[in-house]
Amino acid sequence: MLLNELPERVVEWKDALAQQSCLWREGEWEAGHLPEVKGRLVLLAERLSKQALVASLQVLDEAGIRVELSAVAVVAGRELASLRLSAWSPALKAALQQVATDWDLACVPSLPSADKPGLVLMDMDSTAIQIECIDEIAALAGVGEEVAAVTRAAMEGALPFSESLRRRVAALAGADAGIIDEVIGRMPLMPGLTELVAGLKAMGWKVAIASGGFVPFARHLQQQLGLDAVFANTLEIRDGKLTGEVLGAIVDADAKANILVELAHEHGIPIAQTVAIGDGANDLKMLAQACLGVALHAKPLVQQQAPVCLNRLSLEGVLGLLQAR
């Protein structure tokens, strides 16, 4: 079927294409399958338009890549198109991102399968929740501007994470520990988080948090959402006051990547069935370790290096990526 004969919304193509996989050949779709798949492209949007696919196909045509449209679907209220590719490269991903004006995309060598057990490990601050907890604590302790500046530097990769964390926590010395409960009481979840966790649990997947933030906030999320595990840092408290110290080893970039491997091994899950989600520089090693690394509304450095970036959708987009296969 010629492209100009298809509806403007890609989600409506299913009926027009008789719900079958189609190969893109010389400006039209025809029934068929690629003999060998070397990459996958998923386009996602609140409403996915034909223009998104047209722009992407132009990039793929210029690169000499054969394309199979394998699925169009609505997942968690968002629309997606899933394509199989005859070739993949980082340069292809970059070229596709250049034309993505109002849609998100993932261009990767492979995707985990929703039909097999898997693991999602996510960062907490500015990923699972909309705030940086240490900044909120600092604001209530009267040192907000000082701590927020260090947080920004750490998330942008300008400071080693462990050094930045110790510096920020030191500024909290003497603050009333009751501030922690106050922040927990108004902690906003990231849009799409509850849908993502519910969808993962329905698939039989494990869901965990590895955070450079703090244990009370992570445990609150664990209880609220039924997460399988949480890993975070421990603030020292004496006589109801924060001492300005962190107890034990810090959950930094290396720790996050190691946690992903250890959790996968513990549950008998292959790395090919793992997903990591984060937003800051200290998440990059975790994103690289997973089969599918997703940067969510990320800092510029992370945008450049992350395998997949979600900038328009939120966490519900991750569920779409997993269902796209």
The catalytic residue positions are: 123, 125
DSSP 127-141: TTBSS-HHHHHHHHH
Q: Which two tokens stand for residue 23?
A: 């190969």
Backbone angles phi, psi at 196, to 5 degrees: -65, -50
Q: Which two tokens stand for residue 185?
A: 């009481």
Rounded CA-CA distance 218/227 in Å is 10
Would you tell me how many other CB atoms lie within 10 Å of the CB of residue 292? 23
Which among 75, 92, 72, 96 has a CA at the least distance from the CA of 10?
72
| In the block, residue with structure tokens 């009370």 | 216
Would you tell me how many other CB atoms lie within 10 Å of the CB of residue 1? 14
Name the CA dihedral angle for 301, 306, 312, 317, rounded to a multiple of 10 degrees. Answer: -150
Q: Which residues pair with 39 in a beta bridge?
A: 85
User: What residues contact residue 136 under an 8 Å CB cut-off, 6+ apart?
Assistant: 183
Rounded CA-CA distance 70/4 in Å is 19
